[in-house]
Amino acid sequence: MSHKQASFYQSVQTNFEKAAKVSGLPKGLLAQISACNAVYQMRFPIKSGNGYEVIEAYRVQHSHHRLPTKGGIRFSHLVNQEEVMALASLMTYKCAIVNVPFGGAKGGVKVSTRKYSEEQLEKITRRYTVELVRKNFIGPGTDVPAPDYGTGSREMAWILDTYVQLRNGELDAAACVTGKPTGQNGIQGRTEATGRGVYYATRELLNDEEEMKALKMKPGTEGKTIVIQGLGNVGTYTGLICTEEGGMKVIAVSEIEGTIYNPDGIDIDKLVKYRKKKKTIIGFPGTKKMAKREDWVGINCDVLIPAALESQINKANAKKVKAKIIVEAANGPVTAEAEEILLKKGVVILPDMYANAGGVTVSYFEWLKNLSHIRFGRMEKRFDQRAYTQLVNKVEDLTGKKISKKEKTLLTKGADEIDLVRSGLEETMIQAYHEIRNIKRRKRNVKEWRTAAFLVALEKVASDYMSLGIFP
């Protein structure tokens, strides 16, 4: 057996093939679905020190079966064409699974964000956007970027500003990018969205009595132990929401500087503040440092949540996994080779294309908000509030009993934007869970969640292609 690990793109292709074989779809159609439709590779200079440096960057549009195409932009020194292709492919399947009507895309800029000043990062982001505009690789109806590893709302604001300067007067310009700051055409709840979606996905599985019976686990989220790799946006919100809303316990966190462990639970909010000040998670009160950073993989817990980069659980360390469940908060954290080993051990893996789809789901809500030019809840909030108040007042009159002012406020509240976004996200994740689960139940030769999720996606993408008349 070779020791060389398969690439991330190969891994995505292997998983695709596995599902394609049992899909019953025609070969030509499958080949069209899996291919990356357009790959834009660019090089541009930025001033660095006394000279110039050439920056390597990409935007890949994987599938045009629906428009616009959609997916984040990654800033990392590991970016390469194949990685962006793999990520763009995953976006297509992800959108289909959560019924977000977009094709898949992804961008990547090969830079280590730590090595550049804010000013340089702004220049890189703006120049990258100019390149996208020039080639028609960005726009509300063509291709809509968003944050990913190494980028956030700040970069999205730069992208929008650059776009608007070049496309002056375009009515829907704000919808050219999502994940913007809330004060600049963004939406409440986008920052927490991926982590919140990971929580909903985990909760659905943990509350599934049949699944839990098969794993010999007690149903429910309360008291379940989790280990998180990566304390970026996704890992942080996953940890916060799993503990606050699910009553789960984060017993270990892994980051670049090492892995910390506390069987009694780690307060994520305090840990994030600690890391901001000390620039490390090591030494956080109550925790002990594990011998090696990689030790997070083998910790005994209920749910292992890789929330950093791809290929973190691979054929070299998969045997060490003791958790019964892995929830892929990152894109591609478990390689196809590792999955084979894990499935034999009976580990259940909730795949990335479902588990981390919360981000793009709320991006979809943001895009809709931008196109409609109105905030969610603006029309109905006060109307609902008044109607609920009248109802409660009537019940009080009829029963002769009064409820407290606090209870009344809670019962009569009209929905704000954040309430609607969370409700829409929760509904989306529950619906998708059942769609995947139904396929898993229906097809006797499909045992794992990833193949079932792929099949859900393939069916929808294939039917879109057919309705376009390309494949009769």
User: Tokens standing for 195?
Assistant: 């982590």
Cα–Cα nearest to 239, from 257, 227, 254 = 227
Cα–Cα nearest to 145, from 110, 192, 108 = 108
348 or 360, CB closer to ligand GLU?
Answer: 360
Quote the least distance from Cβ 34 to ligand GLU, whole Å: 18
List residues binding ligand GLU (CB under 6 A). Answer: 70-72, 94, 146, 148, 178, 331, 356, 359-360, 363
One of 70, 94, 106, 369 is an active-site residue; which one?
Answer: 106
Residue 253 backbone class (left: φ over 0; alpha: ψ -120 to 50; beta: rest)? beta
Quote the least distance from Cβ 109 to ligand GLU, whole Å: 14
Q: Is the dihedral of CA 201, 206, 211, 215 positive or negative?
A: positive
61 or 331, CB closer to ligand GLU?
Answer: 331
- 106 catalytically annotated: yes
23 or 428, CB closer to ligand GLU?
Answer: 428
Quote the least distance from Cβ 84 to ligand GLU, whole Å: 12
174 sits in which H/E element: none
CB-based contacts of 398, cutoff 8 Å, min separation 6 = none
Quote the least distance from Cβ 359 to ligand GLU, whole Å: 4
Q: Is the dihedral of CA 367, 368, 372, 374 positive or negative?
A: negative
CA pair distance 126, 122, nearest whole angstrom: 6
Quote the least distance from Cβ 307 to ligand GLU, whole Å: 12
239 or 332, CB closer to ligand GLU?
Answer: 332
Give how far Cα 18 sits from Cα of 60, 98, 455, Å: 23, 21, 10
Q: List the strands of the sheet with 143-147, edge to edge.
A: 38-48, 51-61, 103-109, 69-75, 143-147
Catalytically active residues are: 106
